[in-house]
Amino acid sequence: MKSLLLQIFTWWNSQTLGTRFHTWRKGQRVGEDEFGNVYYQGGTDSEGRTRRWVIYNGYAEASAIPAGWHGWMHHRVDTPPSDENYKPREWQKPFQPNLTGTPYAYRPKGSIANLGERPKVTGDYDAWSPGS
């Protein structure tokens, strides 16, 4: 019951009722990634291409789509990673959640959140003052 109420009133929990209905009506399961996200296709979009969508395992976090599936979702490739032996390139980084608001967030030198001292201004900067 709780899951159904979350799907009715929130869009960030897995799928909405509209997505569930569209998946039931026209969806053809294409595959699943290592995070448990399930990918579908079916029907056509406004440009006449096959419509593709994902039902997230948990929160709807677009950056959690691996590189191979991202290419398929955005019509960069026609073959989904589940139909081929897809190996990510060495420069493709694995998913990392948004760390903002956590102890692991990026805090550059001089930030109020960083306890270090602000770096000194170099000689190539002249502060603006009125009348100059």
Residues of the chain with pLDDT under 50: none
Answer whether 69's CB lies under 8 Å from 52's CB: no
- CA dist list (Å): 55 to 37, 43, 110, 128: 6, 16, 41, 52
Q: Tell me what pLDDT residue 39 has.
A: 92
- 12: in domain: yes
pTM: 0.63
d(CA 71, CA 80): 8
Provide the 3-class DSSP secondary structure of residue 23.
helix
Instruction: Dump pLDDT digits (tens) for 13-37.
Output: 556 656 665 566 677 888 999 889 9
Q: Tell me what pLDDT residue 10 has.
A: 60
Q: Torsions phi, psi of 107, nearest 5? A: -130, 100
- 42: in domain: yes
- 110: in domain: no
Here the tokens at position 107 are 């805090």
d(CA 33, CA 70): 11
Number of domains in the chain: 1
- 9: in domain: yes
Q: Tell me what pLDDT residue 74 has.
A: 92
Here the tokens at position 53 are 């969508």
- 31: in domain: yes
Q: Torsions phi, psi of 64, nearest 5? A: -85, 0
- Print the domain residue range for 37: 2-83
